[in-house]
Amino acid sequence: VGLSPGDAELRPSQEPAAAEDAAFISIQAFPALLDLPQELEVTQVSCGSRHTAVVTRGGELYTWGWGKYGQLGHGDNASSDQPRRVQYLVAEGLRAEEVVCGPWTTYVSVLE
């Protein structure tokens, strides 16, 4: 995915740039192809105001976008332009069934 001059940084305009929030996340006003492993079958997608999450047929959860409030579920506040698997669910033996993204939150329904 390339960046174009129209891409913008995902941070509210009233918020000053901070060193830990220096990651550049592109905003694209058009559909973009994602590089997920070919064997994954996405069964559900949800979009927040600045992040996206998908659930796969195998119960995996992948998230990407702006992560300032920890809404990506990776145990940090890092942002990412690339889908990353949420390892917490794997470590706890949980299977994602459904995901709903809010403005700065992500809700996941899981099975043990």
Structural domain boundaries in the chain: 42-111
**Lookup result for tokens 């949420």:** 86
pLDDT value, residue 107? 97
**CA–CA separation, 104 vs 50, rounded Å?**
8
pLDDT at 38: 78
Please report where in the chains the tokens 């709903």 appear, as a residue: 100
Could you tell me which residue, 22 or 63, shows the higher pLDDT? Answer: 63
Whole-model pTM over 0.75: no
Answer whether residue 111 shows pLDDT above 60. Answer: yes
pLDDT band per the 50, 70, 90 thresholds, residue 7: very low
Centroid of chain to Cα 22: 17
What tens digit of pLDDT does each residue of 13-60 get? 344 444 455 555 665 556 667 777 778 899 999 999 889 999 999 999
